[in-house]
């Protein structure tokens, strides 16, 4: 039986290297997920056997495994695999959270495991793993909040690799699909498109439907999400760019400096010149 780490027992979340959890498991490579949800960050090739079914995982993938599963880790050269384990009580804070952890990521229709790629191994190591360790050393409440956000980020990224028709088998999972696509489109087009209707059109749904979806998944209207994105980008540009306010307003897609100034003033209470 897998010996639960102190951290997992105390707060319902842990992240550890594979060699550490194997050592705590009396050097045995067989585990049970018990009541925990597990995410494995694969930074080197490994064979993972789940419920007696072998999976050859290449580095650069994330594996999602649900509760009450028997897992055997294959041999590795560096143990460069990280295990994230968390309880439902640790993660579930909202209806959206419940949808995430009860999704195909952990309860896959076709397999005992769900595998999704991530883009950059060093980015995963530095931004995710080292950042989490920094929070752990600094403050437990910050660490818990960072852990929740990190889990959600990994799950959101993985949702892109579930076929649309499969997502729609789950009630409201089409909402998450469209909201995720909206966020991707917003990142790409926020400079040229600032209206909900544009993004709804790109998604082939109505503006009202898009707002219904964002309110359900994120608790905010689509318009509010667009404004938040614009304010964030405006603040960054004003803080770090050497360009003039007029040049910044043009770069961010505003028709003139006056409209840019009015937008900033309305949503922050400050003029651009005060923020620069």
Every domain of the chain and the residues it spans: 6-162, 164-275
d(CA 244, CA 254) in angstroms, rounded, equals 14
CATH T-level assignment (fold) for domain 164-275: Arc Repressor Mutant, subunit A (1.10.10)
User: In this predicted structure, what is the pLDDT of residue 79?
Assistant: 86
| pLDDT tens digits along 67-108 | 888 999 999 998 899 999 999 889 988 777 877 887 889 877
| pLDDT tens digits along 14-65 | 999 999 989 988 999 999 998 899 999 999 999 999 988 999 999 999 999 9
User: In this predicted structure, what is the pLDDT of residue 2?
Assistant: 44
CATH T-level assignment (fold) for domain 6-162: Jelly Rolls (2.60.120)
Q: Which region among 30-39, 171-180, 264-273 has the lowest average model confidence (pLDDT)? A: 171-180
| pLDDT tens digits along 99-127 | 788 788 987 767 889 999 987 888 788 77
pTM: 0.61
Query: Rounded mean pLDDT of the chain?
Result: 87
6-162 and 164-275: identical CATH topology:
no
| pLDDT tens digits along 193-234 | 999 999 999 999 999 999 999 998 788 999 999 999 999 999
* SS3 sequence of 174-215: HHHHHHHHHHHHHHHHCCCCCCHHHHHHHCCCCHHHHHHHHH
Q: Are 234 and 267 in contact (CB under 8 A)?
A: no
Residue 52's φ and ψ, nearest 5 degrees, are 70, 10
């Amino acid at each position: 039986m897998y010996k639960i780490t102190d951290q997992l027992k105390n707060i319902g979340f842990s992240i550890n290297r594979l060699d550490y959890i194997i050592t705590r498991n009396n050097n045995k490579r067989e585990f049970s997920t018990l009541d925990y949800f597990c995410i494995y960050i694969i930074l080197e090739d490994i064979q993972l056997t789940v419920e007696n079914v072998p999976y050859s995982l290449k580095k650069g993938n994330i594996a999602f495994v649900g509760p009450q599963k028997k897992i055997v880790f294959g041999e590795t050269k560096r143990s460069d695999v990280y295990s994230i384990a968390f309880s439902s009580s640790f993660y579930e804070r909202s209806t959206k959270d419940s949808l995430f952890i009860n999704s195909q990521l952990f309860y896959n229709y076709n397999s005992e495991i769900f595998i999704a790629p991530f883009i950059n191994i060093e980015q995963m190591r530095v931004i995710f793993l080292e950042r989490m360790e920094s929070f752990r050393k600094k403050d437990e409440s910050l660490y818990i909040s960072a852990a929740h956000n990190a889990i959600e980020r990994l799950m959101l990224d993985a949702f892109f690799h579930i076929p649309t028709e499969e997502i729609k088998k789950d009630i409201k999972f089409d909402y998450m699909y469209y909201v995720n696509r909206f966020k991707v489109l917003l990142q790409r087009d926020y400079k040229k498109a600032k209206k909900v209707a544009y993004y709804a059109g790109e998604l082939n749904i109505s503006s009202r439907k898009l707002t219904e979806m964002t309110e359900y998944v994120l608790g905010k209207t689509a318009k509010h999400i667009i404004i938040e994105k614009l304010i964030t980008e405006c603040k960054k540009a004003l803080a770090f760019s050497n360009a003039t306010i007029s040049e910044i307003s043009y770069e961010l897609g505003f028709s003139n400096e006056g409209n840019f100034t009015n937008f900033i003033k309305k949503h922050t209470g400050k003029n651009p010149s005060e923020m620069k």
